[in-house]
Amino acid sequence: MGFDRNLKIAPSILAADFANFGAEIEAVEAQGADWIHVDVMDGHFVPNLTFGPPLVKAIRKHVGTVMDVHLMIAPVDPYIEAFADAGADILTAHVEAGPHIHRTLQAIRGAGMKPGVALNPGTPAAAVSEVLDLVDLVCVMTVNPGFGGQKYIDMTAKVRELRAMIGDRPVHIEIDGGMDPKTAPEMRAAGADVLVAGSAVFKGGSVSNSAPYGENIRAIRTACDTLV
């Protein structure tokens, strides 16, 4: 998994058919998805419950691209090895999830995964300034984490600040929340290169009719290409 700043669309399986994850992942990848984004929520750090390591392990064999696992859980450290064993390529922890994010990121890399750090909307970019040399990705939340389909919160200024802070480091800026052809271009222009999209990708399609997935992905790409 080499580094580049080309635009990557990472559909969130939170918006997929839960009863058919394997086929959904294969369908959306065939329609042009660059990464697969897996939202893990614990009902404690965020007000929702989703998936754990067994689900991640079960769907691993269906992911042909990059499995991007976003932990919205606290604590993180006790589960790092389990997600490594499950096959996560990128494991992202929230800076707000515990007092020792530096240690957490070291442990993620030590377990053989690429570490990511996420920021809630109310957390400033400066909160990750001391760990930029430890991460492969910074995830900027543009909704309050916990549920899909929320209204987008404009974080353009934060993304621009992060892009300046990152400089020439090989660190992706990922945007998670409310991404669609209207909101994605301003995030791309501000410096993001990974866009997580759930409802905007999966709407109107299904495993038996996956063409809309491709149409939706291309609509986001086209909107970004038009602006940038």
User: How is residue 142 annotated by DSSP?
Assistant: S
Among candidate residues 34, 89, 176, 180, the one labeled active-site is: 176
The answer to whether the CB of 94 falls within 8 A of the CB of 71 is yes
Q: Is 176 a catalytic residue?
A: yes
Residue pair 37/194 in contact by the 8 Å Cβ criterion: no
Predicted local distance difference test score (pLDDT) of residue 67: 98
Summarised one tens digit per residue, pLDDT across range 47-104 is 999 999 999 999 999 999 999 999 999 999 999 999 999 999 999 999 999 999 999 9
Compute the distance between CA of residue 77 and CA of residue 178 in angstroms, rounded to an integer.
28
Q: What is the pLDDT of residue 81?
A: 98
Cβ distance 41 to 49 under 8 Å? Answer: yes
Q: State the Cα angle at 22 between 94 and 63, rounded to 5°.
A: 60
pLDDT single digits (tens) 185-195: 999 999 999 99
Per-residue model confidence as pLDDT tens digits over 113-160: 999 999 999 999 999 999 999 999 999 999 998 776 678 999 999 999
Q: Which of 39, 42, 68, 136 is catalytic?
A: 39
The whole-number pLDDT of residue 56 equals 97
CB contact at 8 A, 175 and 140: yes
In order of 97, 116, 221, the CA distances from 167 in angstroms are 26, 17, 24
Average pLDDT, the chain: 96
The confidence score (pLDDT) of residue 227 equals: 65
**Whether 4 is catalytic:** no
**Tokens in use for 221?**
């790409």
Has residue 31 got a pLDDT over 60?
yes
User: How far apart (Å, rounded) are the C-alpha atoms in residues 203 and 109?
Assistant: 35
